[in-house]
Structure 1
Amino acid sequence: MEDAHTATLKLLNKKGYSYFGVYDGHDGESVAKYCGNNLHTRITKDAQFETNLVAAIQNGFLGTDDDLKNDPQFQIDPSGCAGAAVMAIVTPNNEIYVGNAGNSRAVLSEDGIACQMSDDHKPVNPGESKRIQDASGFVEFGKVNGTLALSRAFGDFEFKQTPNLPPKNQIVTAYPDVKMAETKFKSTEFLILACDGIWDCLSSQDVVSFIRKNISENKDLRKVCEDLMDRCLAKDGELGGIGCDNMTIIVVGFLYNKTEKEWYEWMAERYGKKGPEYVE
């Protein structure tokens, strides 16, 4: 288990902003933990945070990766951050900004319908494959240079050494895609952030429906997350494969001035009336 995560309802000195992030590590946990401790600070302190949040998120990702590259501790540390990072900032204006670099995923539940807020960055994706090849890399067996199963990540600096190319255009990059959505009082239920260990096992809609079903059974989100990971875990982990990868999940419920008790009651009442029910 090499993941890290961040969840803060009050983002540093930014009144009304909340931040959530999941960081999926590989070959060690150090880079994932570094991102968990520092990425939100890097984004928040960016000069464009108040005026251009998309640019601040992009700058924060690349800046954090540059900090790692120049940190003597990590120059001899091979650990990367597979699935790198998926994070969300909720603004005082009821907007959600999601930044993603890697194969983790963010999904919004709107009336029980899964609305994907990020795209999985896999080497076989046409845009990712083109960037890799333009930077003198190749895709083999669905992996970057035959070894790395995702095309965007923090660390992994051996894939970021093509001369005369900016960080955004390297074989592997920490540059994120950023998507924005406005939350809606009557339909936006919750946001899911999870690493690929979850999505390897269940679809976006399956996860949304599973969470809604379990809430309708009077389980709180802590128990729901535990049950979801139990559902995804392989029964036998000796051989690896599906159900044996890192698993981290955050579920963010949107209260809209409800109490937590009222929100759970609202969610339970909606299950079976709006959105598909969960089918095992």
Structure 2
Amino acid sequence: MPRFAANLSMLYNDLDFLDRFAAAARDGFTAVEYLFPYAYAPEQLAALLQQQGLQQVLFNAPPGDWDRGERGIACIPGREAEFRDGIAQALRYAQALQCPRLHVMAGLVPAGADAATVRATYIANIRHAAEQAAAQGVRILLEPINGRDMPGFFLSRQDQAHALVAEIGAANVQVQMDLYHCQIVEGDLAMKIRQYLPTGQVGHIQIAGVPERHEPDVGELHYPYLFALLDSLGYDGWMGCEYKPARGAAPHATSDGLGWLKPYLAKAH
């Protein structure tokens, strides 16, 4: 049966970030993910998780200068020292939060950069991250992101990500399969799931409606079919609810939009 984690960077955005943990727990979530924890002390976040009975299942490594448009630096030549410092910081948080997965954003390909150099930089950086993470049992995740939402992102297709995982050759490197991004770039989701899930290389799944990235029951995808398919294939990991509530930041917008989730929570109890 699917297990769902609330993405606190997108859900409950009518509340201050630190208040979103309690809101997610009240709505029946037992796990959370979010983009970045670095604005808060790890001990503060760990205490919130413990207070609310929540598991931290995923967050992102530092992305470079997010406010200036950077979306990861793993593929950017010349930023290797900064990348390594970021991985060290992320792993300190992962240890404090008992988080077993770390998403490392690939980054935007620099204008005019040599493609072979960019790819080699990315592979070397991910190998370093994987080596450091393996010591504390953390998996490094690579996520293809669609070029409509993030033009110029290094990694956009499932086959590209799986080929990189094979080339990197580290047991703790896996693919973060976001069905929203996959549908926009490739479609044919059921066949993609059937193709890649049995490889053991899918370490986490995320969901959202397409095309507006609202609740999973809004848009062109029929998630009950996909959830049943994942069950039939034995997927027992988490599904991150990384979507924007259709009612935005209106009071209780997230909670009021969870009708799609309630049948699955009922089965869990």
Q: TM-score normalised to the size of structure 2?
A: 0.33
Greater helix content: 2
Q: TM-score normalised to the size of structure 1?
A: 0.32
Larger radius of gyration between Structure 1 and Structure 2: 1
Greater strand content: 1
